[in-house]
Amino acid sequence: MLRSSGVSGPAGSRASDQAFAVSAPAAESAIRALSGSPFPFAHAGRFAAVGVGGAGVGAVLRLRDAAPEGLCFIAVDSSAQVLQQARGRAAGDDSLPPLSTVLLGVGTGGLGTGGDTELAAAAAREAASAILRAVGSAEVVLLAGGLAGGTGGGATPQVARLLRDAGHVVIGFGIMPFGFESAPRQRRAELALGQLRAACDTTLALDNDRLLGLGETDVTLDVALRVADDVIRQTASGLVALAACEGWLRLDLPTAGELLVGGGDACLALGLGRGPQPAGRAMRAALASPLTDMRSLRQARAVLVQVAGDAALGLHDVADAVDILQALLPANCQVTAGVALDPTLGGAAQVMLLGVGLPGPVRLRQPQRKTAGLLQLLPKRLHLDLERGAYSFDPPLRQVG
Domain ranges of the chain: 15-238
What does the chain come to in residues?
Answer: 401
Task: Note the pLDDT of residue 364.
Answer: 54
**7 Cβ contact list (under 8 Å, min separation 6):** 14, 15, 261, 262
Q: Is the distance from CB of 209 to CB of 366 less than 8 angstroms?
A: yes
Torsion angles phi and psi, residue 205, rounded to 5 = -85, 115
Contact predicate 211/369, CB 8 Å = no
Q: What pLDDT digit, counting tens, does each position of 286-303 carry?
A: 898 766 678 888 988 888
Q: What is the mean pLDDT of residues 116-145?
A: 95
The model's pTM: 0.75
Gap between the Cα atoms of 67 and 164, Å rounded: 26
Question: Residue 263 — very low, low, confident or very high, per pLDDT cuts 50/70/90?
Answer: low
> Pick from 302, 312, 316, 297: which is nearest to 261 by CA?
302
Segment 236-262 shows an average pLDDT of 64
- How far is Cα of residue 291 from the mean position of the Cα atoms in its chain? 12
Greater confidence, 213 or 221? Answer: 221
In the prediction, which pLDDT does 249 show? Answer: 61
* C-alpha span between 9 and 21 (Å, rounded): 14
DSSP assignment of 170-207: EEEEEEEPPTTS-HHHHHHHHHHHHHHHHH-SEEEEEE
Amino acid symbol at 150: G
Q: What is the pLDDT of residues 166-205, one digit of tens each?
A: 999 898 888 888 888 888 888 999 999 999 989 988 787 8
What pLDDT is stored for residue 325 in this prediction?
95
Beta-carbon contacts of 182 under 8 Å, excluding residues fewer than 6 positions away, are none
List the single range of 9-18, 47-56, 113-122 with lowest mean pLDDT: 9-18
Cα 330 to chain centroid distance, Å, stands at: 25
The alpha-helical segments, DSSP class H, found in 26-100 are: 27-35, 53-65, 80-90
Residues 15-238, CATH architecture? 3-Layer(aba) Sandwich (3.40)
151-163 residue pLDDT tens: 999 999 999 999 9
Q: What is the mean pLDDT of residues 109-137?
A: 96
Amino acid at 389: G
- How far apart are alpha carbons 142 and 236 in whole angstroms? 7
Distances from the Cα of 388 to the Cα of 98, 209, 231, 283, 348, angstroms: 26, 21, 11, 15, 11
* CA distance readout (Å), 261 to 209, 232, 236, 352: 28, 18, 16, 19
The per-residue DSSP string of 292-358 comes to S-GGGGGG-SEEEEEEEE-TT--HHHHHHHHHHHHTTS-TT-EEEEEEEE-GGGTT-EEEEEEEEEE
pLDDT at 385: 66
Tell me the pLDDT tens digit for each residue of 365-393. Answer: 444 443 333 333 344 466 666 566 566 77
Give the per-residue pLDDT at 166: 95
Q: What's the mean pLDDT in 92-110?
A: 90
What secondary structure, in 3-state letters, does 259-292 show? HHCCCCEEEEEEEEECCCCHHHHHHHHHHCCCCC
pLDDT of 103 over the 60 cut:
yes
Q: Which amino acid is at 77?
A: D
pLDDT of res. 362: 63
CA of residue 373 relative to chain centroid, distance: 28
Higher-pLDDT residue of 90, 358: 90
* Alpha-carbon dihedral angle through residues 31, 33, 36, 38, given to the nearest 10 degrees: 110
